[in-house]
Amino acid sequence: MTKFLASVRNADEAETALQAGADIIDLKEPDGGALGAVSPKTAAVVVAQIGGRAKVSATIGDLPMVPESVQAAIETTAKTGADYVKFGVFPGPGAEACLGALVPPAGGAGLVAVLFADDLPKFEYLPILKNIGVAGVMLDTRRKGHGSLLDHLHLASLRRFVETVQQEGVMAGLAGSLKPHHLQYLLPLQPDLLGFRGALCDGETRNNAMDAARCAKIRALIPQEVRQEPLTQSPLPDGGAAPIC
């Protein structure tokens, strides 16, 4: 079953998304970058407000790949009571060493690593992520406003990503400026999570306020039980995804 992850910035948005039927409330500050973090106080308030009605994830922010900094942010975020702590795998020479040094936080929160489709993601990091005990791996886009997930990766690459991650017993998630029409392509891949922000907001703009009707529209398009047979697909627009692997 593919779950609907809704990225929210505060308690009001969290309640809007929850009432629309979101499976995972994902705390993220859109003004802070791809994985901008809300304050620990805001995160703790939202976790208490949700009260177990849905899973809650929270991002640690767009941090450089320095093990001490990333691990400290993971621990701080986990203390808010979030079920999952999301961290970005940003490109650079220190990324691999940083990943290898991370450990799951105290308290039982699951780690979710985020790879960026527009940064030529290194799928060879997947075994390292498995070894450090992540609960999930997601693909997202880092440069917002510069195309969706499907503008950067072919469906074949996305399918391979989902299958590879799931074969390791880890959740596979897809996000990145996704819109309602993308679901016809992504649902047949059977990811564990599909994440949305802009599509849930006024004017489909991620920095705007969350809109209940848009949230309900996405919820209606993601069945509670995803069909095994592929959905009918229309052709991808010309100039769409470019193969990377």
Active site residues: 28, 86
Contact 103, 85 (CB under 8 A): no
Among 201, 211, 160, 157, smallest CA distance to 178 is for: 201
Read off the tokens for 1. 């079953």
Among 200, 182, 165, smallest CA distance to 13 is for: 200
**Count of C-beta atoms within a 10 Å radius of residue 229:** 6
Query: DSSP letters along 85-128, please?
Result: EEEE---STTHHHHHHH--PPTTSPEEEEEEEGGG---GGGHHH
Identity of residue 54 = A
Give the integer Cα–Cα distance in Å for 116 and 91.
9
Give the integer Cα–Cα distance in Å for 139 and 27.
17
Return the ∠ at Cα 38 (arms to 36 and 43), rounded to 5°.
Answer: 140
Cβ neighbours of residue 206 closer than 8 Å, sequence gap 6 or more: 30, 144, 177, 197, 198
